Amino acid sequence: MDYQTFHAADFDVVSLQSKFDADTVPGLRGHFEHLIKDCNGNVLIDMKSVQELDSSGVGALVFLYKRLKQSQRELALLGVQGKPQELLSLLRIDHTIKQYNNLAEYQNTP
């Protein structure tokens, strides 16, 4: 899985590339575990480049959301669009996991 990550003062950002599906999810499991166990801030998943999302990707997002919630942390999605947005809306995931257009919007939200 091709992704980039960076750490800021109170959050970590993971930027995903093109697909988040059954083929790419296994490559991120270890990194998600690291974010859950070794980091303290909220986690932002930048999905602006993601064009394909399937049930495995949705499952990984829900898993991460639940695990972060247990430690009073949040998961937010950035830049979701197209087919991935349609799927998240259809499954009503967008009602549970907060979504922002970009990092600046997230940072300016009270």
pLDDT in tens, the chain (110 residues): 578 888 888 899 999 999 999 999 999 999 999 999 988 899 999 999 999 999 999 999 999 999 999 999 999 999 999 999 999 999 999 999 999 999 999 999 87
pLDDT at 89: 97
43: three-class secondary structure by DSSP: strand
Domain that holds residue 31: 3-107
pLDDT at 11: 94
Q: How many domains does the chain have?
A: 1
Closest CA relative to residue 13, chosen from 84, 39, 83, 25: 39
pLDDT at 1: 58
pLDDT at 58: 97
User: Which CATH number is 81's domain given?
Assistant: 3.30.750.24
